[in-house]
Amino acid sequence: MTPFIRPATIDDTAAICAIHNEGIVDRIATLDTVLRTPEGTQAWLAERGPRLPVIVAHLDGGVAGWASLNRFNPRTAYDSVADFSVYVSREHRGKGIGRLLLDALINRARAIGYHKMVLAALAHNQAGLSLYTHAGFTRVGIYREHGQLDGRWVDVVIMEQLL
């Protein structure tokens, strides 16, 4: 069955939270180390506006992944630049769901009027870096020893795509 992409709703809170926490625990998608709570995720989802959509990949009656456009920087000069997040549940990774979510997110960013999308990915996240490269993102730099996970320094790759 093919997943379909739709806007996230408050009913998706538990699934979004659980998938985000898998990314934190697996140490592949984020420098976050504190697990999210359903209450915090619900508040985050409720405060999103039309320029900061959250979407989900719906598959077999449940959420297989989610993605969001995020504010890059609070300074108004950066209002045309969006950061983003893409998370796929463990059981659905490697099946093209990340690409479906990212393609839908890029289309939404263009429709909203963003000029550019940027990301910071863990350098050891080869699956993520491959996804972003195949979706048209270009590597523009690397932050060496940018954060610590489990007591060791990790590098972060910076990528962008002009829309």
Query: In the chain, what percentage of residues exceed pLDDT 70?
Result: 100
- Residue 106: strand pairing partners: none
| Separation between Cα atoms, residue 132 and residue 52, nearest integer Å | 20
pLDDT of residue 15: 98
Q: What is the pLDDT of residues 125-162, one digit of tens each?
A: 999 999 999 999 999 999 999 999 999 999 999 999 99
pLDDT of residue 3: 86
- Domains of the chain by residue range: 4-119
Higher pLDDT, 61 or 6: 6
23 pLDDT band, cuts 50/70/90, is very high
- Report helix, strand or coil for 29: coil
pLDDT of residue 29: 84
Q: What is the pLDDT of residues 67-126, one digit of tens each?
A: 999 999 999 999 999 999 999 999 999 999 999 999 999 999 999 999 999 999 999 999
Written as six digits, the tokens of 45 are: 């989802």
Alpha helices in 77-150 (DSSP H): 97-112, 126-134
pLDDT of residue 132: 97
Q: What is the pLDDT of residues 24-47, one digit of tens each?
A: 999 988 888 999 999 999 999 999
From residue 154, alpha-carbon distances to 21, 43, 61, 100 in Å are 19, 30, 37, 28
Q: What is the pLDDT of residues 50-69, one digit of tens each?
A: 999 999 999 988 999 999 99
Sheet of 54-59, strands arranged across = 4-7, 54-59, 62-71, 81-88, 116-122, 152-162, 138-149
The residue type at 77: A
48 pLDDT band, cuts 50/70/90, is very high
| Residues 29, 35 contacting (CB under 8 angstroms) | no
Average pLDDT, the chain: 96
Write out the CATH class of domain 4-119. alpha beta
Is residue 4 scored above 90 in pLDDT? yes
